[in-house]
Amino acid sequence: MEFLLLKVVSMFRPLASLGYAEAFFDIAGAALFALLVVALLLDSAVRKTLSLSAVDLLIGMFAIWCLTIYVVYFEQAHIAHVVKMLIPLFSYIAVKNVVKERVQYVKLLLWMIVGFSVPVVVSAGLIAAGKGVDYVSFWTGIPRWAGAYTASHSMGHSMTLFLITLVLYLHLTAENQGGGAVKGRTATHIAFGVLAALALYCLYKSQVRTAIVGLIVFVSLYLYFFNKKLLIVGATTLIVVAVLLLPYWMPVLLPDVWLIETGRDQSLMGLGSGRPTFWLSDITQFFALPFDQLLAGVGIGREYHQQDLDLMGHSDWLEILTNTGIVGFILFATLQVLMLRAILKIKGREKFIFLAMFCSVNVMMLVSNSYVWRIQVSQLYFMMLAYIELRQTLQPRVEEITLAADRGRGGVSAR
Strand partners, 136: 143
For 408, half-sphere exposure in the C-beta direction (CA atoms, 13 angstrom radius) is 12
Kindly report the number of other CB atoms within 10 A of residue 377's CB atom: 26
Q: 276-289: per-residue pLDDT in tens?
A: 888 888 898 889 98
Say if residues 3 and 104 touch (Cβ distance below 8 Å): yes
Q: What is the dihedral of CA 176, 181, 185, 191, to 10 degrees?
A: 110
Alpha carbon distance 294, 287 (integer Å): 7
pLDDT in tens, 43-78: 666 666 667 788 999 999 999 999 999 988 877 778
Residue 118: band (very low, low, confident or very high) from pLDDT cuts 50, 70, 90: very high
Identify the band that residue 28 occupies on the pLDDT scale cut at 50, 70 and 90: low
- Provide the residue type at 230 as one letter: L
Phi then psi dihedrals of residue 177, to 5 deg: -100, 25
pLDDT surpassing 90 at residue 264: no
d(CA 39, CA 95): 9
Whether the Cβ atoms of residue 16 and residue 376 lie closer than 8 Å to each other: yes
- How far apart CA 78 and CA 73 sit, in angstroms, is 9
Distance in angstroms (rounded) separating the CA atoms of residues 48 and 89: 22
Q: Does the pLDDT value for residue 179 go beyond 50?
A: no
> Do 209 and 333 touch, CB atoms closer than 8 A?
no
Please tell me the distance from the alpha carbon of residue 102 to that of residue 354, in angstroms, as a whole number.
Answer: 15
Q: Is a pLDDT exceeding 60 seen at residue 157?
A: yes
Picking from 247, 273, 275, 259, the residue whose alpha carbon sits closest to that of residue 139 is: 259
Residue 149: which region, alpha, beta or left (left: phi > 0; alpha: psi -120 to 50)? beta
**pLDDT at residue 398 above 60?**
no
The Cα–Cα gap between 29 and 12 comes to 9
Q: In the predicted model, is pLDDT for residue 401 greater than 50? A: no
For residues 5-25, give the mean pLDDT. Answer: 77
Residues 6+ apart with CB under 8 A from 387: 105, 354
Phi, psi dihedral angles at 83 (to 5 degrees): -65, -45
Cβ count within 10 A of residue 285: 16
DSSP state of 397: P
Instruction: Tell me which of 353 and 258 has the higher pLDDT.
Output: 353
What is the C-alpha to C-alpha distance for residues 323 and 293, in angstroms, rounded to an integer?
9
pTM of the model: 0.86
Residue 195 has pLDDT above 70, yes or no: yes
Q: Which helix (H) or strand (E) holds 305?
A: strand 305-306
**Could you tell me where the DSSP H helices lie in 176-313?**
186-206, 209-226, 228-244, 246-253, 255-261, 271-286, 291-296
Tell me the backbone φ, ψ of residue 411, rounded to 5 degrees: -160, 170
> Residues 85, 91, 96, CA angle at the centre, nearest 5°?
140
Question: How much is the average pLDDT of 291-301?
Answer: 88
The bridge status of strand 305-306 relative to strand 309-310 is: antiparallel
CB 377 within 8 A of CB 88: no
- Which of 41-45, 204-208, 371-375 has the least mean pLDDT? 41-45
Cβ burial, residue 316 (10 Å; 0-12/13-18/19+): buried
Please return the burial class of 297, using the count of CB atoms within 10 Å of its CB with bins 0-12, 13-18 and 19+. buried
Kindly provide the residue ranges of all beta strands, DSSP E only, lying in 133-186, ordered along the sequence.
Answer: 133-136, 143-145
Predicted local distance difference test score (pLDDT) of residue 102: 85
DSSP state of 248: H
Strands 133-136 and 309-310, bridge-based pairing: unpaired
pLDDT at 275: 81
For strands 143-145 and 305-306, give the pairing.
unpaired
